[in-house]
């Protein structure tokens, strides 16, 4: 359940902009406001069942985008590579003290958080 | 004209997977095979005008994806950051000879080309 929630949250981060405004609102209420289906339904002026369907259809749509573009997969691989470089830089820092190494570290951390 | 061509090629690299098979085929013939509109039309069994329209509609669709997801913009920024780190590493290499610096350089170049 938590895994599904985290997955949907990640999918929404990467592809949410491709959904309609109403779909985005629905998922924001579900993911970030922790609203119940009844509360979401009331806010969007739709039935509880329609709110449930919308969340599930959006999940399928977002998974379809990921299956085609692989942005989440690519991002994970990039993060792994950057972390590996950061580890190398930190290892080097333990042997060599150089201001430029700190600059490199800072830039890597900035990239990791972007 | 060349700018338009390059832009469409970049858009297709990033978002082509979101187009239908027929649209992808059309753009591949246009971008990579350098086929004329008449040749594309014949291959897809559509009119020359329909081939022209398809290319222009695809361009608009791909631009819409970029306006929403900004993948090209983000990639450019990432490349700029990685190149900046690579320059720092190369500067450091001119002062310090260390095997790990070469490993870091290789990993950065791999990331830049991924």
Query: Residues B30-69: pLDDT tens digits?
Result: 999 999 999 999 999 999 999 999 999 999 999 999 999 9
- Residue pairs between chains A and B whose CB atoms are closer than 8 Å: 64
| pLDDT per residue as tens digits for the range A47-76 | 999 999 999 999 999 999 999 999 999 999
Q: How many helices (H) and strands (E) does chain B have?
A: 6, 0
B92 and A101: CB-CB below 8 Å?
A: yes
Question: What is the C-alpha radius of gyration for chain B, rounded to an integer number of angstroms?
Answer: 20
pLDDT at B19: 98
Neighbours of B40 (CB within 10 A): 23
What predicted TM-score, i.e. pTM, was given to this entire model? 0.88
Query: Can you say how many angstroms the Cα of residue A88 is from the centroid of all Cα atoms in its chain?
Result: 27
pLDDT band at A1 (very low <50, low <70, confident <90, very high): low
Contact B108, B82 (CB under 8 A): yes
Distances (CA, A) of A19 to A8, B9, B13, B74, B105: 13, 25, 22, 20, 39
What residues in A contact B69, CB-CB < 8 Å? 15, 17-18
pLDDT at A21: 97
Contact A19, A27 (CB under 8 A): yes
Contact status of B111 with chain A (Cβ, < 8 Å): yes
% of chain A at pLDDT higher than 90: 84
Given a cut of 90, is residue A107 above it in pLDDT?
yes
CA B9 to chain A, closest CA, distance in angstroms equals 16
Given a cut of 70, is residue A33 above it in pLDDT?
yes
d(C-alpha A62, C-alpha A20), whole Å: 12
Q: How many helices (H) and strands (E) does chain A have?
A: 6, 0
d(C-alpha A77, C-alpha A64), whole Å: 20
Contact status of B50 with chain A (Cβ, < 8 Å): no
pLDDT at B96: 86
Contact status of A86 with chain B (Cβ, < 8 Å): no
The whole-chain average pLDDT of chain A stands at: 94
What residues in B contact A68, CB-CB < 8 Å? 17-18
Q: Residue A14: enclosing H or E segment and its boundaries? A: helix A2-15
| pLDDT per residue as tens digits for the range B93-113 | 888 888 889 999 999 999 998
d(C-alpha A65, C-alpha A62), whole Å: 5
pLDDT at B114: 82
3-state secondary structure of B70: coil
What residues in A contact B12, CB-CB < 8 Å? none
């Amino acid at each position: 359940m938590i895994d599904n929630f985290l997955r949907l949250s990640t999918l929404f981060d990467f592809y949410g902009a491709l959904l309609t405004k109403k779909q985005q609102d629905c998922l924001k209420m579900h993911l970030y406001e922790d609203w119940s289906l009844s509360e979401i339904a009331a806010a969007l002026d739709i039935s509880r069942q329609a709110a449930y369907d919308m969340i599930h259809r959006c999940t399928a749509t977002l998974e379809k985008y990921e299956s085609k573009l692989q942005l989440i997969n690519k991002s994970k691989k990039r993060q792994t590579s950057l972390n590996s470089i950061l580890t190398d830089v930190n290892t080097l820092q333990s042997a060599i003290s150089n201001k430029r190494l700190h600059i490199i570290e800072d830039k890597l951390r900035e990239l990791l958080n972007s």
